[in-house]
Amino acid sequence: MGADVTVVRDFYEARYGRLVVQLAGMTGSRELAEEALQEAFVRALDRPAAFARLDNPEAWLRTVALNYCRSRWRRMALWRRTQPRLVVRPPDAVELSETQTVVLAALAQLPMALRQVAALHYLSDLSVEQVSHALDLPSGTVKARLVRARDALRPLLSALVESEASHD
């Protein structure tokens, strides 16, 4: 551990409690104060040499923590204003067929990289080139992932195909 990191750690041990109390008084929430102060210390650890050279590290930490709180409050205010518009459900809820439910469950078992290309190609009917553009991947990578996704989906979906065949 470098000397500068030690300065941050020592300051944390010496002043954390004092700063939490100050910030809790300013924000009205101990939880928010602790979260903001932890964020401030993380930023101090990003540049420990600069932190060690500060004339008033306590004021710097308090300012960083308060700026974090202000940003959080702005985001929460925006969320409160927009959230009612985001959660309005269409009058007819989307009903999934049994087949769609099984396919989605099988896709959920794939690794994210395979799931993304398979969903875009098969569910959104995008071409390999369109998937390549959407995910910023070379088309060869998309093709390889589609092959691996099909190979992984085959055993997961075979039961579905068999059950549909027996119903006919």
Classify burial at 129, counting beta carbons within 10 Å of its beta carbon; exposed 0-12, middle 13-18, buried 19 or more.
Answer: exposed
- Do 109 and 141 have their domain in common? yes
- The 10s digit of each residue's pLDDT in 103-136 is 888 888 888 889 998 888 988 888 999 989 888 9
Under 8 Å CB-to-CB from 4, ≥6 apart: which residues?
Answer: 48, 49, 51, 52
Looking at 86, 110, 134, the residue that finishes a domain is: 86
Residue 93 lies in a domain: no
Residue 7 lies in a domain: yes
Does the pLDDT at position 38 exceed 80? Answer: yes
Domain range enclosing 61: 3-86
Question: Which of 6-10, 39-43, 57-61, 160-164 has the lowest average pLDDT?
Answer: 160-164
Residue 40 CB neighbours (<10 A) = 21
pLDDT at 45: 93
Rounded to an integer, what distance in angstroms lies between the CA atom of residue 55 and that of residue 65? Answer: 17
- Do 77 and 141 have their domain in common? no
Rounded to an integer, what distance in angstroms lies between the CA atom of residue 85 and that of residue 167? Answer: 43
Looking at 33, 58, 86, the residue that finishes a domain is: 86
